[in-house]
Structure 1
Amino acid sequence: MSSEKKYWKSAEQLKENSPLVEALEQKEFAEHIPADEFLGDKEKLEGSQTSRRDFLKYVGFSTAAASLAACEGPVIKSIPYVVQPERIVPGVADYYATTIANGFDFASVLVKTREGRPIKIEKNKEATGLSAGKARVYGSVLDLYDIKRLQNPQIENRDVTWTEFFASLESDLKAKADKKTYLLTQTFASPSTDKLIKEFQENYPNVVHLVYDTVSDEAAVDAFAAKYGYRALPNYDFSKSEMIVSVGADFLADWQGGAFDSGYSKSRVPKNGKMSRHVQFEANMTLTGANADKRVSVKPSLQKQIVVEVYNQIVGKVATTNLNSALKNQVDSVVSSLKSKASGGAVFVTGLDSVEAQAMALEINEKLSSRALDTENPRLIRQGQNSKIQTLISDMKAGNVGALMIAGANPAYSLPNADEFTAAMANVDTTVSFSMKKDETAKLCKYIAATPHYLESWGDVRFTKKDFSLMQPTIKPLFNTRQFEDCLLKLNGNSAKYYEYIKANFKSTYEGLSWNKSLHDGSYVFDMDLPKTSDVPAIDIPAGAKKLVSQSDSEGLELTLYTKVSMGDGSYANNPWLQEMPDPITRTSWDNYVTVSQSDAQALGLENSNVANGALNGDYVTVTLGDKKLEKLPVIIQPGQAPGSIGIALGYGKTEAIQEEMQVGVNAFPLYQNFDAHQTVRLEKVSGVHEFACVQLQHTMMGRRDIVKETTLEIFNTKDKHYWNATPEVSLNHQEVEVTSPEVDLWDEFDRSIGHHFNLSIDLNACTGCGACVIACHSENNVPVVGKSEIRKSRDMHWLRIDRYYSSEDTIQGDYELKNDISGLNSAIDTYGDLENASEGDLQVIFQPVMCQHCNHAPCETVCPVAASAHGRQGQNHMTYNRCVGTRYCANNCPYKVRRFNWFLYNQNDEFDYHMNNDLGRMVLNPDVTVRSRGVMEKCSMCIQMTQKTILDAKREGRVIEDGEFKTACSSACDNGAILFGDINDKESVVYKKTQDDRMYHLLEYLGTKPNVMYQTKVRNTTEA
């Protein structure tokens, strides 16, 4: 039998007879439909004297107007070519391999350009090192067209020429030769940049180079350096793991640079009856915890004890812990599992900002002989020495600093003691910022060197000891900008361009490698020794363990600071794609907030409530840490949050070089004291109610069954498919017949054996919920951004959403006697809510990407009065925009709730100040996809423009299309292989084989819509198997 769990998106669904839940189930449009505003002349329409002729006149005119509005001309390119480059063919995309390395995100990427305009970031499948599978990386192309970018260098807020800029700066630097010059930079991880900085220090002996990471991994770097002799981060390949134990490490998000998803997902898909097992101890509900087989909610102070206890049992006792019996039993069970895989199949990681905890993790993995831990090819993408920032501040206060040069960092925003830093800056006469924008730090500087976007730049990057990548421009610089490295060359008196410098450095360093081939491929492998470090002291683990245990007694609420997969460290704050992307866990966009547990919320009198249309509201709190106080942070009561703990996302609250609409949230960096993400704080409720842009109760399929299917690995291996993935049945002639039987079809089947028949397969085991596919879909299909207020009205335009469902182990067995007494949906949900502590139990989470299911028997097609929605011969459900008159019947009849209506014109409309509403931002639009207008319905097209290009290319070249050539935006973006696309008429294709997999099922299959999107049942390894 299939799982007896009940799934829920919001705690509102657990309330008995909730009027909101009932309303959302019964009403397609919970928000008032502004039909009168759409038709115009509201008073006359509502007046009793309106004749039938007048009414038909209004309706006829509005219908015609909507049709005409949908017939929009092609997008006009704002910068035409004067002399067309020889190799560019209009209408044909070019691809360039390059690299993003902004100090927080590092990845090899492919850049799709059209007529010289970069319009989309894709992953470079051939590249070694770090992959591109992050929402932020895919969204970074939009930052190229940011209207807040600096267009010229500045001196004292005045635009100047580069000649004047360098003449004045060189004079100032020479005049300050008797004092220190600090060069504060991001981690570049670039061999050429590092070499250039050393040359700069030779020319200016008073220069002190200090590397600063916005979010520090210094504890892990120092622990690695103490054990292995060089500053780096351990590398992990989770595909080699059979047992994964994580204590506070969100490795599916941004922990130690991220990009662990692909390896993790490979081990999580059952093969030959085996898959890895994952146990997570954490305070906040994270992406990693949501994907775990078992998740244990524990506050940070207890996480420290857990690390010590695991070390005690695996390596040797160093300190006595005082875990309660229940938690101790869970730790004992985990240790037993780790030891059972001690031949190399186990791995242990921690996210604690403690050098002792990180050192213990390395020792544990060494004792386990972990295959997942790679110490031979460590990561070099976090080189920050944030602990030395205070030395810089002290020197500035003392007047010892003559010049401060800042590149790729914004300390006036991101430092915990930013006020102290900016006050000390006032004592420095010469301040320089190398920045794309006039941000919080740049506005305080005398000199601002306008720098280009990475898509306009040259560079080289060393991800790991062996993996290198090259950066090349994909467009001529849009503005009068100059790279930081070009500026250093000029200051060094070197007339070479940075391109020439890195090419010469490449040829002199990497013997036997081809520059042209490496530039074409975007990456290369070369094993080169790392410099040994001698300034890291040895770590006293016994003393450190005792310190960790002593820190477990804390008063107040324990805070965990984190970065969202959308916003990161805040450098993308002016990116509307990423602002509007819902957080995978809370399903909230356009905000940061305090996540609290249900019990803590009750103790503090905090509430979340839903208004009539399902929109979420929350109380405000003030968060206090010592003399630091954050005012009026909204609260979200988060299921799975550990009692006694709270969470706040970094990267919000920016106010400089950012459009007004994007100035959202509260800056939480002041709480990041000593660069430790874990602090003890006080919470106090204050007046006011915050309005969230939360989509968790929007486009819901509540009241349906067979939405998500899951089972355990034990059942998967021992029971027949019909037990855990039964095909739904319907009654026909007083008999139960499987819904897949032709007997129950209402329509005759088309012959789909000729030509192509496209299908999507979505593996719920491989999907981590990261949201990369959502942003890739935005980029490829010109999906509009609507803003916070429209999101609250259930008007988001995402073609692809990732539904997040909660459940718990308590209901998997099923209390059948109790269940037999349940009647009605609300009663059932309320009863299951009693069976489980909905907010604080060790919840299980499942992510489910949902887009148009492209049904062969599509309910939307039969109700469209103008045939705007119709079925294609290749399996896609087509949407003809210039036919659509906006009746929205299709949305009402779609059981999957995947259709989106353009309530307004979202492009070239002053009411929506996003990228589609300025000439620069519109350069990112894909000319292969129509920009939709007001009054038109839209949805996932299965990227028909991409499939047709593949067909036409093969036809022109006279060859057969190979499996894997067909792609959609979401499938090509998914680093985990969770989304696969292909032609099921090709019986050798991977996607056809997925149709034959025992785990395959269709969403809401009992409705008989026969979708062309299939899902693979979720399998959890809940016990050793």
Structure 2
Amino acid sequence: MSSEKKYWKSEAQLDENNPEVQSLENNEFVEHIPTDEFLGNKEKLESSKTTRRDFLKYVGFSTAAASLAACEGPVVKSIPYVVQPDRLVPGVADYYATTIANGFDFASVLVKTREGRPIKINNNTSAKDFTAGKARVHASVLDLYDIKRLQNPQIEGRDATWSEFDEKVGIELNLASTKKIVLLTQTFASPSTDRLIKQFKEKYPNTEHIVYDSVSEEAALKAFQGKYGYKALPNYDFGKAETIVSVGADFLGDWQGGGFDASYSKGREPKNGKMSRHIQFEANMTLSGGNADKRIAAKPSVQKQVLVEIYNQIVSNAGSTELDAKTQKAVDSAVKSLKKGGSKSVFVTGIQDEGAQRMALEINAALSSTIIDTNNARMIRQGENSKVDRLIEEMQSGQVGVLMTAGVNPVYSLPNAEEFTEAMQNVDATVAFSMKLDETATQAKYVASTPHYLESWGDVQLTKNTFSLVQPTIQPLFDTRQFEECLLNIVSDSTDYYGFIKETFNQSFGGLSWNQSLHDGAFTYEGEVNTGETEGETMSSAFNANSAARQLMSNSGDNLELTLYTKTSIGDGQQSNNPWLQEMPDPITRTSWDNYITIAKSDAESLGLQNYNVADGALNGDYVNLTLGEMTLENIPAFIQPGQAPGSIGLALGYGKTESIQEEMQVGHNAFKLYKDFDTHQNVSLSKGTGVHEFACVQLHHTMMGRRDIVKETTLEIFNTSDKDAWNKVPEVSLNHKPTKVTSPDVDLWQEFDREIGHHFNLSIDLNSCTGCGACVIACHSENNVPVVGKHEVRKSRDMHWLRIDRYYSSEDSLQGDYEKKDNISGLSESLSKFAELEEPSETDVQVIFQPVMCQHCNHAPCETVCPVAATAHSRQGQNHMTYNRCVGTRYCANNCPYKVRRFNWFQYSQNDEFDYHMNNDLGRMVLNPDVTVRSRGVMEKCSLCIQMTQKTILDAKRDGREIEDGEFQTACSAACDKGAMVFGDVNDKESKVVEKRDDDRMYHLLEYLGTKPNVMYQTKVRNTTEA
């Protein structure tokens, strides 16, 4: 039978008497629209004696005059190339395969350049792993044009030349012969860099190399090394799993480097009656929890007991646990599912403890899991964060003569950053290799300006057998030099770094072609690659499960338990000055431009905390003061989060930066101060702060006015045993008092147009495969020059995203239970109490669905019929077009759009000091796509299904005299989605994948009963709720 769940976006929607919610559901604009700005004084207008007839005469004359003036184009002189570059053809894009490896994100990418400018990041489909399906990776192209980048080296705060820099740093290194030289670097995971550091150590034997990761995975690294003998992280292929059980591991987020979501989604599509079953125990609501079939809210101390109990039942008894009856029942069910799946089951945990990570490895070994890969393990985390405390002591005692940092910002990201800063003063010479004058670089004596990865050469070992190359896509914009180039100068190696990399390649990968590998960007090699930097680290150790269990459960967790996490947008804070990422709403909270405490409703009520919508629909909330030991962070916003485990709170890392960042992006609190002992779980206390915080939250923006048939959902059991009409019934309308399906031509208001000739584009979105990661949102920004408007405008519902990812909550596992429970609520007090009851960590825990929504490109589009100037029209190919030059900004189209996907340019966002983001400076505008118009004030805009991309594909095939193959047609969002959730193509090609999706029983259209005939379709969400 069909799902009759009640879906809701925020707690306010559960209160039927809330006037703000009613206003949002029944009005296109949530606030009074000020007209004085463009119409003048309202009182003078109302008292005007001008008649309607005179007014129309004036308008007619002025319109005619404007039309005649528009016939004569302005004279703009262009300067052609004096000598055009050989390989550069104006208007034709070039593509380069390269790799991002900034120490936090690692991915193989394909970079689009126009006239020598990198303008977009695409997924490298040649790579078998680590594709670019992350929002941060797609946004990294904008970091290249960051106006806060260092433009030249500096010595003691003044600009310097490289020759002076080399000379002085060389002298400092020679003077440090009686002390220690320390290289404090990010995880490079680079064979060439490792080989170069080895040469540096040979010249300066008093050198120590410490690898530091801002978000540590040292516990997992030690556990893996203890069992398998080498330092790495296990790899996983979740697409092959039948059962996935996670305890505190957000493996669809940034857990252990991320990148698992593409394989995960392959196992989530119901095929041949089967799909994986995913069970998640967690405190914060995460992407993994949101996509799980069964989610159990459990605070960190409970998670540790859950882990021990699962170990007890699968491996051997390690110690007693004290779980409540409901959690114990969930654990027993999870264990049964793991045992039933056997070798096709997998267990993961995010608990930052070596014993916990070793337990997870032992559980997988006992299951004989084929999902975990320990032979081709991940090399993208090598941090030894425990050595940093020892480094601080050595710096304080004057034992360190030279400290060289590269790719790290410890003055910002260390929990004891103040101690590190003070200790730096006792070092004779501090050298920072950095792209920006960040918190650490401002404290250094010597600062080397380093290039962006799109300006660099390099090689990366992603896994034991997977490698990729880094190549420049543009000449360096500034006077910069790579860290490795500087080391080559120091060790007096006359080879440039490009030659050094080729030398490493030829020595390590005999038989492989350099040119082919550089072209593909990624390659595999199963031989041993030994650079010498990690020699002597192969060792394993015995494991005492009883001792590990006692250590885990020694923490009582009496206070509120804090879980630190990284957002899919900001990550560890390296890209904090990126406005695309700041404005990207968090997939769960739907809030941008902030970090905040996420707290359960029951805990918020006990502290007297509130979230509420003000008159214009914007969200406000209270502040809290958070105390850890003797440190207190004051006035952190509190966000009441459905699904948050009672007794726990969450806070995102990566915010609160103050150096090398524009004032508009200096938002949030630095949560790294709470990252004590590099543990993401801390016992803290909260008290209510003072004042009111204004959130930039889009939860209730652009709502579809309370209409049903938005999300369709069923269970795997019903999907397999019932007819389609039971779970995906086509809506019916009344025709002559007889129920008639909306797909019948008899109920159409308009005559159907024959689109069998030529191309007819459709987009399919699979709700099972979509994880809500947001890569599509950023890709759309990049491809279509979507402006950034800032926090103040987002609060006014004026964000300009062409594509949004709606997040819906539901609170009942049974298909009818949630709907019936909500229907039987009466009054405000009962509504709040029932909501609190649903939020308890029980079988009625909160579930989440992510639904990308863009213009649906309706064949019977309501917007087209109301536009008075025909600025929006339909094409033969199925795309709803916008003619910006015609648009006069009546906004009738937005009012008549049931999907609320049109965006109005309230201001001129480009070259406007009021919106001081990348479009307001010459450097930032270099990222703009010349194939897409930059819209001006007063113009309506929306998704175009990337018509510039479809037309290019058609013209390329026409030029080559060939047929277009399936998969060639892409939009920015479909190309960015490595999960396969978005499939774009030509439905007139009967062999295309999009036709297969259209004919799938799961297919439905959004608000189909309206008869708009969209060209965007969705696949019904199916959950595997079958217990073992």
Q: Do the structures match in fold with TM over 0.5?
A: yes
- Measured after TM superposition, the shift of residue 168 of structure 1 is 1.1
Q: Secondary structure at the match of 1:550?
A: coil
**After the TM superposition, which of the residue ranges 23-32 and 703-712 deviates more from structure 2?**
23-32
Instruction: For 1:746-825, list aligned pairs within 5 A.
Output: 746-809=749-812, 812-814=815-817
Aligned to 2:400: 401
Asked if structure 1 preserves the Cα contact closer than 8 Å seen for 2:229 and 2:539, the reply is no
Aligned to 2:380: 381
Aligned to 1:448: 447
1:709/1:394 Cα in 2 relative to 1: closer, same or farther (>3 Å)? Answer: same
After superposition, the C-alpha distances for 1:346-400 in whole angstroms (9 at most, x for unaligned) are 0000000000000000000011011110001000000000000011100010011
- Measured after TM superposition, the shift of residue 613 of structure 1 is 2.1
Asked if structure 1 preserves the Cα contact closer than 8 Å seen for 2:825 and 2:831, the reply is no
**CA distance in 2 between partners of 1:106 and 1:922 (Å):** 26
**CA distance in 2 between partners of 1:65 and 1:18 (Å):** 50
- Measured after TM superposition, the shift of residue 41 of structure 1 is 4.8
1:496/1:228 Cα in 2 relative to 1: closer, same or farther (>3 Å)? Answer: same
- 1:439 matched to 2:442: no
Aligned to 1:162: 162
**After the TM superposition, which of the residue ranges 205-214 and 530-539 deviates more from structure 2?**
530-539
- 1:864 matched to 2:836: no
- 1:543 matched to 2:547: yes
**CA distance in 1 between partners of 2:542 and 2:1025 (Å):** 39
- Measured after TM superposition, the shift of residue 39 of structure 1 is 2.7
**CA distance in 2 between partners of 1:829 and 1:750 (Å):** 52
Asked if structure 1 preserves the Cα contact closer than 8 Å seen for 2:6 and 2:822, the reply is no
1:1011/1:830 Cα in 2 relative to 1: closer, same or farther (>3 Å)? Answer: farther
**CA distance in 1 between partners of 2:264 and 2:905 (Å):** 38
- Measured after TM superposition, the shift of residue 809 of structure 1 is 1.8
Aligned to 2:269: 269
After superposition, the C-alpha distances for 1:973-1001 in whole angstroms (9 at most, x for unaligned) are 00100000000001100001111100000
Aligned to 2:303: 303
Asked if structure 2 preserves the Cα contact closer than 8 Å seen for 1:345 and 1:372, the reply is yes
- 1:209 matched to 2:213: no
Asked if structure 2 preserves the Cα contact closer than 8 Å seen for 1:3 and 1:709, the reply is yes
**CA distance in 2 between partners of 1:132 and 1:787 (Å):** 26
**CA distance in 2 between partners of 1:586 and 1:68 (Å):** 51
Asked if structure 1 preserves the Cα contact closer than 8 Å seen for 2:226 and 2:539, the reply is no
After superposition, the C-alpha distances for 1:678-704 in whole angstroms (9 at most, x for unaligned) are 000011111100000000000011420
From 718, 721, 737, give the equivalent of 1:718.
Answer: 721
- 1:391 matched to 2:390: yes
- 1:837 matched to 2:876: no
Which one-letter code corresponds to 1:584 in the other structure? Answer: P
Aligned to 2:897: 894
Aligned to 1:653: 656
**After the TM superposition, which of the residue ranges 654-663 and 69-78 deviates more from structure 2?**
69-78
Asked if structure 2 preserves the Cα contact closer than 8 Å seen for 1:868 and 1:883, the reply is yes
1:58/1:528 Cα in 2 relative to 1: closer, same or farther (>3 Å)? Answer: farther
Asked if structure 2 preserves the Cα contact closer than 8 Å seen for 1:69 and 1:934, the reply is no
Which one-letter code corresponds to 1:324 in the other structure? Answer: D
Aligned to 2:1024: 1021
**CA distance in 1 between partners of 2:811 and 2:697 (Å):** 23
From 905, 910, 921, give the equivalent of 1:907.
Answer: 910
From 927, 932, 943, give the equivalent of 1:929.
Answer: 932
1:536/1:680 Cα in 2 relative to 1: closer, same or farther (>3 Å)? Answer: farther
**CA distance in 2 between partners of 1:157 and 1:31 (Å):** 49
Which one-letter code corresponds to 1:543 in the other structure? Answer: S
- Measured after TM superposition, the shift of residue 61 of structure 1 is 9.6
Matched length: 1021
- Measured after TM superposition, the shift of residue 537 of structure 1 is 5.3
**After the TM superposition, which of the residue ranges 134-143 and 610-619 deviates more from structure 2?**
610-619
**CA distance in 2 between partners of 1:462 and 1:1004 (Å):** 47
Aligned to 1:473: 472
Aligned to 1:969: 972
Aligned to 1:135: 135
Asked if structure 2 preserves the Cα contact closer than 8 Å seen for 1:102 and 1:188, the reply is yes
- Measured after TM superposition, the shift of residue 507 of structure 1 is 1.1
- Measured after TM superposition, the shift of residue 541 of structure 1 is 2.1
Aligned to 1:7: 7
Instruction: For 1:225-244, list aligned pairs within 5 A.
Output: 225-244=225-244
After superposition, the C-alpha distances for 1:185-212 in whole angstroms (9 at most, x for unaligned) are 0000000001001101111111111000
Asked if structure 2 preserves the Cα contact closer than 8 Å seen for 1:598 and 1:839, the reply is no
Which one-letter code corresponds to 1:432 in the other structure? Answer: V
Aligned to 1:260: 260
Asked if structure 1 preserves the Cα contact closer than 8 Å seen for 2:228 and 2:540, the reply is no
Which one-letter code corresponds to 1:333 in the other structure? Answer: S
1:643/1:830 Cα in 2 relative to 1: closer, same or farther (>3 Å)? Answer: closer
**With structure 2 as the length reference, what TM-score do the two structures score?**
0.96
Aligned to 1:124: 124
1:833/1:821 Cα in 2 relative to 1: closer, same or farther (>3 Å)? Answer: closer
Asked if structure 2 preserves the Cα contact closer than 8 Å seen for 1:185 and 1:406, the reply is yes
- 1:609 matched to 2:608: no
Asked if structure 2 preserves the Cα contact closer than 8 Å seen for 1:248 and 1:303, the reply is yes
- Measured after TM superposition, the shift of residue 53 of structure 1 is 6.6
Asked if structure 2 preserves the Cα contact closer than 8 Å seen for 1:365 and 1:373, the reply is yes
Asked if structure 1 preserves the Cα contact closer than 8 Å seen for 2:598 and 2:649, the reply is yes
1:293/1:60 Cα in 2 relative to 1: closer, same or farther (>3 Å)? Answer: farther
- Measured after TM superposition, the shift of residue 494 of structure 1 is 1.1
After superposition, the C-alpha distances for 1:812-868 in whole angstroms (9 at most, x for unaligned) are 234898888799xx9999599569625765111000000000000000000000000
1:264/1:70 Cα in 2 relative to 1: closer, same or farther (>3 Å)? Answer: farther
Aligned to 1:510: 509
From 582, 587, 596, give the equivalent of 1:584.
Answer: 587
1:915/1:76 Cα in 2 relative to 1: closer, same or farther (>3 Å)? Answer: farther
After superposition, the C-alpha distances for 1:592-616 in whole angstroms (9 at most, x for unaligned) are 0000000000011111011122211
Instruction: For 1:529-568, list aligned pairs within 5 A.
Output: 529=528, 531=535, 533-534=537-538, 538-551=542-555, 553-568=556-571
Q: Secondary structure at the match of 2:553?
A: helix
- 1:688 matched to 2:683: no
Which one-letter code corresponds to 1:260 in the other structure? Answer: F
1:742/1:650 Cα in 2 relative to 1: closer, same or farther (>3 Å)? Answer: same
**CA distance in 2 between partners of 1:762 and 1:75 (Å):** 46
Instruction: For 1:70-149, list aligned pairs within 5 A.
Output: 83-149=83-149
Asked if structure 2 preserves the Cα contact closer than 8 Å seen for 1:15 and 1:829, the reply is no
Which one-letter code corresponds to 1:922 in the other structure? Answer: R
Instruction: For 1:669-708, list aligned pairs within 5 A.
Output: 669-708=672-711
**CA distance in 1 between partners of 2:502 and 2:279 (Å):** 47
**CA distance in 1 between partners of 2:634 and 2:708 (Å):** 43
**CA distance in 1 between partners of 2:924 and 2:863 (Å):** 33
Runs (5+) with no aligned partner, structure 2: none
- Measured after TM superposition, the shift of residue 504 of structure 1 is 1.3
Which one-letter code corresponds to 1:585 in the other structure? Answer: I
**CA distance in 2 between partners of 1:290 and 1:65 (Å):** 57
Asked if structure 2 preserves the Cα contact closer than 8 Å seen for 1:129 and 1:468, the reply is no
Q: Secondary structure at the match of 1:558?
A: strand
**CA distance in 2 between partners of 1:434 and 1:270 (Å):** 49
From 848, 852, 856, give the equivalent of 1:853.
Answer: 856
1:15/1:820 Cα in 2 relative to 1: closer, same or farther (>3 Å)? Answer: closer
**CA distance in 2 between partners of 1:935 and 1:366 (Å):** 62
- Measured after TM superposition, the shift of residue 30 of structure 1 is 1.0
1:330/1:778 Cα in 2 relative to 1: closer, same or farther (>3 Å)? Answer: same
Q: Secondary structure at the match of 2:177?
A: coil
- Measured after TM superposition, the shift of residue 307 of structure 1 is 0.6
Aligned to 1:990: 993
Which one-letter code corresponds to 2:591 in the other structure? Answer: T
**CA distance in 1 between partners of 2:818 and 2:20 (Å):** 27
- 1:313 matched to 2:317: no
Alignment RMSD, CA only? 2.4
Aligned to 1:738: 741
- Measured after TM superposition, the shift of residue 329 of structure 1 is 1.3
1:71/1:116 Cα in 2 relative to 1: closer, same or farther (>3 Å)? Answer: farther
Q: Secondary structure at the match of 1:177?
A: helix
Asked if structure 2 preserves the Cα contact closer than 8 Å seen for 1:222 and 1:536, the reply is no
Asked if structure 1 preserves the Cα contact closer than 8 Å seen for 2:227 and 2:541, the reply is no
Identity of matched residues, %: 72
**CA distance in 2 between partners of 1:954 and 1:346 (Å):** 45
**After the TM superposition, which of the residue ranges 16-25 and 466-475 deviates more from structure 2?**
16-25
**CA distance in 2 between partners of 1:837 and 1:296 (Å):** 12
Which one-letter code corresponds to 1:908 in the other structure? Answer: Q
